[in-house]
């Protein structure tokens, strides 16, 4: 599944092979929560050079439902995305929907964020849903507390995450035996900022032998220095021949630093979210607030060196106007620019890591 091609102090370069194509690493995975990217098409996304799309198990389970997706031929046929797809487990919603859920050892009782309907998601349910959706890479169900939560909360979350990982692997192995093209299963390392808990979580998950390992529970309250300290603890303990995925991190400099520490995969909604609110990433590394007054009369290109053609031809004044007027095309231009710059940075990093 994963071939490590090069490793140096600058990071690792590799390839993840799936039934729907190869994923060169390090890579950034755009987040298409319900199988779509707000403001841009999947064709746009492919033209930017994205090699994999992340979709959300919890949201797809609620609407349209995994059986609808299955009957359409799986997520690839349902969405029209031809390249690899990774699905998260629904575990992040355990963190983000604290007012709408109750965590037990069996799993999580949710109230739907749409209409309050009761639903239950546990390790077995999450894995079965992800298999039904037809993703190429799936994630174990885990408990993700804030990184700064007290130690006793982190201990309980690690214990539960380890128990759930074992249950996830059992049902995955059962389903894999009858699947013509089974997905790869990644476990998720938790432990907050507690170094010993992170070490223990890694060691026990590695002993279970998963296809890859994700690092969760970061970018949820800690400082950048604290995040990097935890990566310095976790990454050296992970198997060199398995992919490493840092969840929920999308700031360019943070990804560069994480690549140096041995991380291979990233996902985040941040480039899209900041674009919609007027923060634009430039090829130079600068970030500008395009909706501010100085850009009302700045008729220079959005980014003359952009990997995105529309940013080389449209003026900053035009994007300023579109976003301030709540024109949907403004969101599209801004999102294309931020994703284009993010994906281009990953391409550059891979070139620097060429053996």
Q: Which residues are catalytic?
A: 88, 267
At residue 184, φ and ψ (nearest 5 deg) are -85, 145
Angle between helices 252-260 and 328-352 (to 10 degrees): 20
State both tokens at 196: 């010993």
Q: DSSP secondary structure string, 151-173?
A: HHHHHHHHHHHHHHHHHHHHHHH
CA distance 76 to 16: 18
Rounded to a whole number of angstroms, the distance between the first and last alpha carbons of the chain is 19
C-alpha distance from residue 227 to each of 26, 193, 310 (Å):
18, 8, 35
Question: Any idea what DSSP says for residue 309?
Answer: H
Partners of residue 2 on adjacent β-strands: 16
Residues found in the chain: 355
């Amino acid at each position: 599944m994963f071939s490590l091609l090069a490793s140096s102090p600058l990071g690792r370069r590799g390839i993840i092979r799936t039934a729907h194509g190869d994923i060169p690493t390090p890579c950034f995975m755009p987040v298409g929560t319900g199988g779509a990217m707000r403001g841009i098409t999947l064709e746009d996304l492919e033209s930017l050079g994205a090699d994999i799309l992340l979709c959300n198990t919890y949201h797809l389970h609620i609407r349209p439902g995994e059986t609808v997706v299955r009957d359409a031929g799986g997520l690839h046929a349902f969405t029209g995305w031809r390249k690899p797809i990774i699905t998260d487990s629904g575990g992040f919603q355990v963190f983000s929907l604290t007012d709408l859920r109750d965590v037990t050892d069996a799993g999580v009782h949710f109230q739907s964020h749409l209409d309050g309907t009761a639903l239950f998601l546990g390790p077995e349910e999450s894995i079965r849903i992800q298999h039904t959706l037809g993703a190429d890479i799936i994630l174990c169900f885990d408990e993700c507390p804030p990184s700064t939560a007290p130690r006793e909360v982190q201990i309980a979350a690690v214990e539960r995450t380890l128990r759930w990982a074992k249950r996830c692997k059992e049902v995955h192995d059962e389903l894999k035996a009858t699947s013509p093209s089974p997905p790869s299963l990644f476990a998720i390392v938790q432990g907050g900022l507690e170094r010993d808990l992170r070490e223990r979580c890694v060691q026990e998950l590695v002993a279970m032998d998963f296809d890859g390992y994700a690092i969760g529970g970061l970018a949820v309250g800690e400082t950048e220095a604290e995040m990097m300290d935890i990566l310095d603890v976790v990454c050296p303990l992970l198997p060199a021949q398995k992919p490493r995925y840092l969840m929920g991190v999308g700031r360019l400099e943070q990804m560069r630093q994480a690549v140096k520490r041995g991380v291979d995969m990233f996902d985040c909604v941040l480039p899209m979210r900041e674009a919609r609110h007027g923060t634009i990433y430039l090829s130079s590394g600068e970030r500008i607030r395009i909706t501010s007054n100085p850009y009302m009369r700045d008729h220079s290109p959005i980014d003359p060196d952009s990997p995105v053609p529309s940013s080389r031809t449209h003026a900053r004044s035009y994007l300023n106007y579109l976003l301030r007027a709540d024109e949907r095309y403004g969101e599209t231009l801004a999102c294309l620019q931020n994703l284009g710059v993010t994906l281009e940075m990953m391409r550059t990093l891979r070139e620097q890591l060429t053996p």
